[in-house]
Amino acid sequence: MATATKEIVVYRLYGDSGSLLYIGVTQNWAQRREHHAIVQPWFSDVAHAELESCPTRKDALAREATLIRELKPRYNIQHQPLPPLPPVEYMEP
């Protein structure tokens, strides 16, 4: 028996002011949205979402990484450059 496939999407979550809060990938948007609502403290700030279809998961993951690096959403950590480390003082023994 064949199973139904769901569309692979890159989603962008925006706040009231239009600020970009989060970018992610899913094959089940309704389930992913519900999961964010339960576990993410920032989800109450989400005013709307935009979904972008991708032909494959590989394409979606590449698109997600590019968008995160370019747009720097507030709550994404993955694909963001790490902040510079503070200087370290050398102390004589």
Averaged over 23-41, what is the pLDDT? 96
- In this predicted structure, the answer to whether residue 31 has a pLDDT above a threshold of 90 is yes
pLDDT tens digits, residue range 58-70? 999 999 999 999 9
Buried b (16+ CB within 10 A) or exposed e, 62-87: ebbeebbeeeebebbeebeeeeeeee
Query: For the chain, what is the mean pLDDT?
Result: 88
Q: State the pLDDT confidence band at 83, using cuts at 50, 70 and 90.
A: low
- The pLDDT score that the predictor gives to residue 59 is 97
